[in-house]
Amino acid sequence: MPSPKTPGVEDVLRGPIKSKTVFPVLILHFLDGAPDHGYGLMQRIESICAGLLAVNTNTIYPLLRRLEERGFISGSWEHPTKRSRRIYSITPAGRERLARIKNNMRPYLDVISATIDRLNKELYHEHLSRTVA
């Protein structure tokens, strides 16, 4: 049984580990490293999530607009005189938000990671040792 400080499985499934939290934290995290455009961010998120969470323009571009409206990121056109890619950068408020999200998300990620490790050990490592012996 989980301790009061450790979220249980039901908390993880209902907790902040879902696309509406994962995508913003990944966008802020990537932009904390370097400015990028929407499509570039989508590709980076896709490579991290490996198909687990669906990444598409209908999710990412409205999210980028919301993050910009809230002052967490700022965007500027690559070529100000013509319609082009919008390049996004994180703001100081975005860095503060990123730190808060990461701090709150860590216990849930730890539970998920530990659960996956136990599943792998149970299903595969014990099985391999039985077949070798």
Residue 71 pLDDT: 98
Residue 88 pLDDT: 98
In a domain, residue 10? The reply is no
The pLDDT tens digits along the chain (133 residues) read: 444 455 554 444 444 455 677 899 999 999 999 999 999 999 999 999 887 788 889 989 999 999 999 999 999 998 878 878 999 999 999 999 999 999 988 888 898 889 889 888 888 876 555 555 4
Q: What range does the domain containing 24 cover?
A: 16-132
Please state, as a whole number, how many other Cβ atoms lie within 10 Å of the Cβ of residue 133.
5
Strand residue runs (E) in 6-126: 36-37, 73-77, 86-90
In a domain, residue 7? The reply is no
Residue whose C-alpha is closest to residue 89's, from 99, 75, 109: 75
How many helices (H) and strands (E) in the chain?
6, 3
In a domain, residue 102? The reply is yes
In terms of Cβ atoms closer than 10 Å to its own Cβ (0-12, 13-18, 19+), residue 85 is: middle
In a domain, residue 100? The reply is yes
In a domain, residue 4? The reply is no
Whole-structure pTM value: 0.76
Residue 19 pLDDT: 63
Q: How far is it, in rounded angstroms, from Cα 97 to Cα 112? A: 23
For residue 60, the domain's CATH number is 1.10.10.10
Total domains present in the chain:
1
DSSP letter string, 20-34:
HHHHHHHHHHHHHHS
Q: Helix, strand, coil % (nearest 5) of the chain?
A: 65, 10, 25
